[in-house]
Each structure stands twice: as C-alpha cells, then as structure tokens.
Amino acid sequence: MRKFLRQYSLLIWLTFILTTGFLAILVTSYIVSKDSIQQGIAEKSLPITGDSVYSEIQKDILRPVFISAQMAQDTFVRDWIINGEEESTLISKYLKEIKTKNNAVSSFLVSDVSHQYYHPDGTLKTVKETEPRDAWYFRVRKLKAAYETNVDADMANHDNMTIFINHKILDYNGKFIGVTGIGLTLDSMKRVIDSYQTRFHRNIYFVDAKGNLVLAGSAAKRLGSSIVKATGISTIATQILANTKNESQHLEYSIDDEKILLNARYIPELGWHLIVEQEMNEQLKPLQDVLLMGAGISALITLIVLSLVLITVRRYQNRIEKTAATDQLTSLPNRQAFDFVFENALLDSERSRQPLCVAIIDIDFFKKVNDKHGHLVGDHVLKEIAMIAKRSLRESDVICRWGGEEFVILLKNCTLEKATAIAENLRLTIANNDFSRTTDLARTRLTITVSMGVALCKDKEDEDSVFERADVALYQAKENGRNSVYFSE
C-alpha cells in the first residue's frame, strides 16, 4: 500500500484537487448572482477548461517523449550508426516496428555521420544545412536539451502537419551522432478540441507566436487565418501574443455588441497560445443551469478519465518492466536481466560453496545464413536455438540472449567437467537439428552449428573476468574449426 501511494501520489493529489475544485464550482454556481456568474466564467470556468485541454496535450506529448528517449538510448540504434550504418533495411524495420507498435504516423532517424534521413519505408533524403526544410535537424544538434517538440510538415506523410519529438542520439562517450523520434498527427488534438467545445459550449483554438491560427475546432471559422486581423479579438491580440509565460490571461472583447470572455495561456512545449472563449448573452439565467450541468458532467468524466489513466499507467509500467528484461525475438532474458541473475547466482555460489559455470554460444557463420536465406530465416534460427537450449538444459540453468548471434548460459551447482558435457550435448543437438523442418522459409535442409566457450567461476572472481575467460575459450573453438566446445579452467 505504501509503495502504491509513493508511485501514484501525484495522481492521487490531482484527483483530489480536481474533484474538490469541481465540487466548489458546483456549490458556488447555485449561490452566486448574475454578476458573479460572469465573473466565475472569466476567472474559474474558462481557466479550468484551458487547464483540461493543456493537460490533455501534455498527456499526448509525454508518451512520445518517453518513446523517443528509449529509441535514442537503444544500443541497437547507437551501434548501427557507430558501425557504419550497414544494411539500412535493419533500421527501417526497426522504425516500422516502433511506428506500428505505438500507433504513430511517423518514426525517423537522421545520422550525423552520413546525414541520411531514414524512415520505415527506407531512406527519405540527405539533410543539408542549405535546405530550409532541414533546419530543424541542425537546430536540434545545437540544443542543450536532450529533445524538442516541433510542429512541422512531414515529407514522409504527404506533408501533413505533424507534432515531432526530436531526440538527440549520443554515443557511449556522450558524442552527438544523430536524431531520432516519432511524429503524431494533429487530427487527434482536433477531435479533443471539438469534444471540449461540445461539452463546455466554448470556442477553443491555438495560434502561433505571430497570431496565425494553427489548430482549431469547427466553431472558430469566424476568426479567419489570424487573430491579428480578425474582428473584435484584434483589439487584444497584442496582449495575448506578448504573454510568453505559462500563465493564464483573463481578457474580453466585443463583436456586434456581444461580449466574449477569453482565457489565454502560452504553451512552451509547442510555442503556441491556447485560447478558450465564452460568448455571453442576456440570458444569463439559462447559462447558469448549463454551467451547473456542465460542471457535474465534467467532474464525473474527469474522475472516469483519471481512473482509466491509473489503470493504463499500471499496465504500462508492468509492460515496460517485462520488456526491459526480455529479448523480444526469443522471449529469453536479455543481457540486462542476465546481469542481475548472474550477480545473485555468484553470491549464492560463494555462500553455498557450490560451483558455478558460464557458457557462451556463438552461431557459426550466422551472417552467411542471413545473406543466403534472409533475415527472417536468421530470426527463425535464433528462436529455434533458444527453444532447443531450453529443452536441453536443466531446470536450474539460465539462458539469455547476449546480443546478435550470441547466447549465454548460467550453470548453477555445476562443475567444469559437467558444464562442458552439458555444452557438448547442446552442441550436438543443434548440429543434428534440421532447422528447415519448422519453417516454410527454407526450402532445403538447413543445418546450423555453434561454437561454445565454457568457464568456471573462481573464488572472488568478478563477472568481467569470468566472461573474459569464457570468451577466450570461445575464440579457441572458432579458431580450431568451429562446431566445438572449449573450456577455460
């Protein structure tokens, strides 16, 4: 319970504050006079609507920022750039997976080495400093911050206006090597705006720093293309645009003797001004009833949304924890998870005085398999070897995907002699297996062999030392013809 309160304290407080705020508005609405209704709309109702829309935008942007950060820190992405950007189909496949998995309209990577712009369908172009449409990239390269949010036309999506999260990629020494991220369409925000306009009977729209209308619902057509030129609001346009802090403004203007109350705030993440308007008329009494009903409905919907957000956050956290520890292709523990398991196993081995061995598996000539049969067959081989290993090993043994075509096995309570025998048995099983039998991708018999290096963990020996000796044994196996098991004492 305490852990839950610590993790979700902000959400709990937000629920409490919003619920209390809506109840206060509801009570106040019943007791105030006609004059106080107008004051309530100007100083409370409109700001709350603006805060709700602003919160919705922050929610939509927060997840893409997290995804972009994950992409920028992905070792595959960094290694692919560092190793010369070979086989561009690999990065396109990766970007396509990111785009599909996260329902994004765009995903991209620009290398600072080659200046190539990659997207899910291949290489889009070469970015140039002299090209105005590429100015965003060179701006991001000079940023002190890790990322920026930018609204721009997406060349890979028919120039549709898109919100991009541009995240810097740094190599392992902190050197800038590129930019990656995803893009989200503005259509979702337009739907949010229309839903808020329907619910609150107010006009909601966004303008840029020059006052140009950039995003609006269906009710803002009377404004034209700019608030600087629009009738009525042009008288306060300068005040709106002069506010570059994330603070609410309470303003008003008139059109044809109709008073319009306005709340404006600057959104630094987008560089836009959010404007919420309420048209007033002589029938303030009916408006009071509408306000009361709207407040009650809004409070209920807010509670439902917060409940759904809580459920979603918990599920998303569980999914992140599982994804962080699992290799997506083979469903084996990944290197990060293995490091944790190995550290605990090493401590148990020292306490119990039971031997502990590690074995490194490297698939022989795996690149030739990919080149000859394609990467889908290569993926099938990796999954099949993972399945064979899990069937062949003891229940106490742990196998993980170390990276590329390498696997690592942790053999608990196992002498070097026994570990070598287990490794030899696994090698023979793999060598005798017909990998074409379980797939339609390979038309002829497909035989795969592996080389293995085994090492016994010595007293007070750290992880790096153990794996260095196992790697030396693996190197000996590969140097002496492959398809063999060597050990290091």
**Tokens describing residue 199:** 């619910």
Name the catalytic one among 85, 148, 384, 405.
405
> Is 405 part of the annotated catalytic residue set?
yes
Using DSSP's 3-state secondary structure scheme, residue 192 falls into helix
- Residue 74 burial (CB < 10 Å; 0-12/13-18/19+)? middle
Q: Can you tell me which residue has the tokens 């690999």?
A: 90
Backbone angles phi, psi at 468, to 5 degrees: -65, -40
Residues whose CB falls within 8 Å of the CB of residue 78, separated by 6 or more in sequence, listed in order? 169, 170, 171, 172, 177
Q: Can you tell me which residue has the tokens 């990276």?
A: 403
Q: How far apart are CA 8 and CA 18, in angstroms?
A: 15
* CB 410, CB 422: distance < 8 Å: no
CA atoms within 13 A on the CB side of 251: 23
Amino acid at 414: C
Q: How far apart are CA 423 and CA 473, in angstroms?
A: 13
Q: How far apart are CA 274 and CA 216, in angstroms?
A: 10
How long, in residues, is the chain? 489
Core vs surface per residue 266-295: b (16+ CB within 10 A) or e: bbebbbbbbbbbbebeeeeeebbeebbebb
Quick one: CA torsion of 471, 475, 478, 481, rounded to 10 degrees? -130
**Tokens describing residue 67:** 């995804």
Q: Can you tell me which residue has the tokens 């099983």?
A: 429
Q: How far apart are CA 461 and CA 254, in angstroms?
A: 79
* CB 57, CB 189: distance < 8 Å: yes
Q: How far apart are CA 477 and CA 384, in angstroms?
A: 22
Catalytic residues: 405
